[in-house]
Amino acid sequence: MTEREPSRALAHPATGAIRLEAVLHALSDPIRLAIVRDLAGTETELSCSHFELPVTKSTTTHHFRVLRESGVVRQTYRGTAKMNGLRRTDLDALFPGLLDRVLAAADAESARLAEAAGLRA
């Protein structure tokens, strides 16, 4: 079940078709989790080229597709740029508090790993 969209628009699951397992899978990859954390930290949409990721362009495209098809991210074309926004309202309505807990857990893990790296240095 996907929403009807104009041509050149990208397929997204309707809110009711978003599945927890797919959302968790989308968030379980370090690169995708980093993208989601960046998007959560801004009020605006970000273009795919905004993200400086340590992977090839085609891998980047794959990660954004997983995020879009799972319902985590909404992608829209603005001219030739693909803009990305977190579907926070949809996710919060379906799974209250889940995204916030994942983001807090990611922050805590980053802080722990940075501290451990500092201790080793």
Q: How far is the CB of 94 from a second copy (least distance, A)?
A: 7
Residues 17-56 contacting a second copy, CB under 8 A: 19-22, 24-25, 27-30, 33
Look up residue 58 and give its amino acid.
S
Q: Extract the tokens encoding 20.
A: 């927890």
Query: What's the rounded Cα separation, in Å, for the pair 81 and 93?
Result: 29
Q: How far is CA 79 from CA 67, 71, 90, in A?
A: 21, 23, 26
Select from 39-47, 49-57, 74-82, 94-102 the region that touches a second copy (CB under 8 A): 94-102
Query: What's the rounded Cα separation, in Å, for the pair 121 and 105?
Result: 24
Q: How far is the CB of 100 from a second copy (least distance, A)?
A: 8
Binding site for a second copy (CB under 8 A): 16, 19-22, 24-25, 27-30, 33, 94-98, 101-102, 104-106, 108-109, 112
